[in-house]
Amino acid sequence: MSGSWGCPHELKGLCSKVNNLPCDPGMKGCVLYGRFVFANEEKNVRLRQKQARSDGNGASRDAGAGDDTEE
């Protein structure tokens, strides 16, 4: 049984989506960029930014809701 994944944008080791650069899953411009956690922490920067932004927005929304209900 095979557990591999093949990218439809990879042709002969090059990414047709990102200027025919060598395929590097998770590189900026890749369909996987910022959507998945990679073993290489350098590729997780965008994901961490998105998580920090959503954590910050959730906290401010909760605080705002509390202010409206108290008045």
Sign of the CA dihedral running 33, 36, 42, 48 = positive
CA–CA distance, 33 with 39 (Å, rounded to integer) = 13
Closest to 5 in 3D by CA, of 28, 34, 26:
26
Q: Give me the count of residues in the chain.
A: 71
Q: Give this prediction's pTM.
A: 0.51
Q: Where does the pLDDT of residue 3 fall: very low under 50, low under 70, confident under 90, or very high at 90 and above?
A: low
Rounded to whole angstroms, the Cα distance separating 29 from 61 reads 31
- At 11-31, the pLDDT tens digits run 999 999 889 999 888 888 888
pLDDT at residue 71 above 50?
no
Q: Binning pLDDT at 50, 70 and 90, where does residue 4 land?
A: low
47-63 residue pLDDT tens:
888 888 888 765 544 45
